[in-house]
Structure 1
């Protein structure tokens, strides 16, 4: 497939991931040294690769779960003949883990967004000296769940 811009290619893969019910993230980019034009852009599954050795930060005491599982799913976009058009250079759709059930796409990170009305509700509560966590819990009760 060919795309007019790099952003269109990235949006295409994000939409594909949303339909297939998995999360994506940006990976590395290869640029030309002369003018800095992007030659290759990688978009990978959020569980691609493995976590590096655990970071020991004095200020960070929160333990985070390991989510990287060595998944090989990725999309590589490359530039076409020095134009601003991009095409899919390589595509690997195989995952090394079981995907989220199709009936529960709300568990993906991409779909966990607050609407403008929900953000306004939290801001209004903050003016009434109600914290964001309590506001979110109140909102959860109003709409019937997370």
Structure 2
């Protein structure tokens, strides 16, 4: 029963993202990126990989892009796990009581999409799914940085609250909406 609901949800997501796949949705790996997969736009590729990351339990970020020098059109994009790479050496006080946690540990998970000029779509040319860290459980995945979303109504309420209310009034309004 849960598998059927999951497949129905994935079909809805895939329909919303408007991309083509050379595989059947009944296949267990339909929600997993693979080489040769095509997307109508770079945003569709980002949304698909972000949905994949949420399902698997990791957050993504944009690492690299290349644009055409003359038209400024996006040619390729590299999407990576948010733990990819390393920060430079921290020059702050080494005796700090609460030093900042390490957020980048060299994870190699990535999705590379490139624009195919012939069909005017973005094609996955490289996909690496290996992580060198623990991933988050599906129950907590919504709290990861790339998974945090606010609905359209929440955005409108925030705009309205910020437009003429003082800070205390905004907090009071949000408290009343959340039942105290």
Q: Tell me if both proteins adopt one fold, taking TM over 0.5 as the criterion.
A: yes
Alignment of 1:120 onto 2:170: no
Partner of 2:61: 25
1:10 aligns with 2:36: no
1:130 aligns with 2:168: yes
Name the residue aligned to 1:60. Answer: none
* Cα distance change on mapping 1:10 and 1:113 into 2, 3 Å: closer
Aligned counterpart, 1:59: none
The total of aligned residue pairs comes to: 136
Residue of structure 2 equivalent to 1:107: 143
Aligned mates of 2:176, 2:100 — CA distance in 1: 26
Give the distance between the partners of 1:22 and 1:80, measured in 2 at CA: 28
- Offset at 1:35? 2.8
**Structure 1 stretches of 5 or more lacking a match?**
57-62
Q: TM-score, normalised by structure 2?
A: 0.60
Deviations 1:33-74 (A, max 9, x none): 333332221011111000123367xxxxxx643201110000
Instruction: Please give the alpha-carbon distance, in whole angstroms, between the structure 1 residues aligned to 2:147 and 2:173.
Output: 17
SS in 2 for 1:130: helix
Deviation at 1:112, TM superposition (A): 3.2
Report the TM-score, using the length of structure 1 for normalisation: 0.72
Q: Which residue does 1:38 correspond to in 2? A: 74
**Residue 86 in 1 paired to residue 113 in 2?**
no
Q: Structure 1 98/52 Cα, relative in aligned 2: closer, same or farther at 3 Å?
A: same
Whether 1:73 and 2:102 are equivalent positions in the alignment is: no
Q: 23-32 or 91-100, which moves further after superposition?
A: 23-32
Task: Give the root-mean-square deviation of aligned CA atoms.
Answer: 3.4
